[in-house]
Amino acid sequence: MKLYTAPYAPNARRVTMFLAEKGVADITFESFDLPKGEHRSAAFRAKSPLAQIPTLELDDGRTLTESRAICGYLESLYPEPNLMGRDAFERAEIEMWDRRVELLIAMPLMMWVRHGSPHLAAVEKNQTPEVAKYYESQAMRMAKWFDSELANRPWIAGDRFTIADITAACGMDFAKMMRWRPGDDLPNLKRWRAALNERPCGAVAA
């Protein structure tokens, strides 16, 4: 299999972190330069019609896009260590928290970066300062909520590391482009992020 990815892209990093945590070493990688538009070539669109990164190409030529779908497929191929739930309730609970971090904090952080970072001006043609300000406010409000949740447990979805932690890390680390990361005002988020650095996926560069 081959994974088409790109430096710094949070959705692509979600899959590479997932693979690192699984210890999967039999997938090859091809990286695109997004600002140069390398992912918009006709050859790649034949594999990924919306030119989406990441895209997973199977050995028989079939492809999957959407990072959560790719991770779900990989979970079925490499079931251990388990990252998405061992029974019906745990799978639902982990998905609940994964969706919460994706929609409530990771997405606002990414929209803040996309509309506020000058480094992305070549990719985001319609950057809007007002949009950046709105999503910054939303993200900071939810960061406080997640910090309060993490006062009672070590990981996002409970007592063990799951895909929800990966999703949260991808959004928060992308916000480093705005010089933001959990600080002393968010002690539980800061502790959580430091603990993630000690895991196999922590070696995947942001």
Domain end marker among 56, 77, 98: 77
Q: What is the pLDDT of residues 12-48, one digit of tens each?
A: 999 999 999 999 999 999 999 988 899 999 999 999 9
- Are the C-beta atoms of residues 190 and 155 closer than 8 Å to each other? no
Claim to verify: residue 143 and residue 195 sit in the same structural domain: yes
Claim to verify: residue 144 and residue 178 sit in the same structural domain: yes
CATH number of the CATH domain containing 194? 1.20.1050.10
CATH number of the CATH domain containing 59? 3.40.30.10
CA 182 to CA 12: how far, in whole Å?
22
Instruction: Give the max Cα distance, the chain.
Output: 50
State the average pLDDT for the chain: 95
The predicted pLDDT at position 205 comes to: 55
CA 146 to CA 24: how far, in whole Å?
30
The predicted pLDDT at position 96 comes to: 98
In the numeric block, which tokens belong to residue 154? 């070590």
Domain end marker among 16, 50, 77: 77
CA 57 to CA 27: how far, in whole Å?
10
Claim to verify: residue 123 and residue 57 sit in the same structural domain: no
To 5 degrees, how large is the angle CA 92–CA 94–CA 98? 115
36 domain-assigned:
yes
Claim to verify: residue 33 and residue 119 sit in the same structural domain: no
Domain end marker among 32, 48, 77: 77
Closest CA to 95 of 105, 84, 104, 86: 84
96-to-12, 93, 105, 164 alpha-carbon distances in Å: 21, 5, 14, 9
Q: How many domains does the chain have?
A: 2
CA 158 to CA 106: how far, in whole Å?
18
> Domain range holding 170?
88-199
Structure-derived torsion over alpha carbons of residues 106, 101, 155, 23, reported in degrees to the nearest 10: -70
Claim to verify: residue 56 and residue 106 sit in the same structural domain: no
Q: What is the pLDDT of residues 144-196, one digit of tens each?
A: 999 999 999 999 999 999 999 999 999 999 999 999 999 999 999 999 999 99
Residue with token string 């998405």: 84
The predicted pLDDT at position 185 comes to: 97
CB atoms within 10 A of CB 202: 15
Claim to verify: residue 185 and residue 106 sit in the same structural domain: yes
65 domain-assigned:
yes
Claim to verify: residue 116 and residue 20 sit in the same structural domain: no
Q: What is the pLDDT of residues 113-157, one digit of tens each?
A: 999 999 888 778 889 999 999 999 999 999 999 999 999 999 999
Claim to verify: residue 123 and residue 165 sit in the same structural domain: yes
Residue with token string 């993630």: 196
Q: Sign of the CA dihedral 86, 62, 32, 124? A: negative
Claim to verify: residue 170 and residue 107 sit in the same structural domain: yes
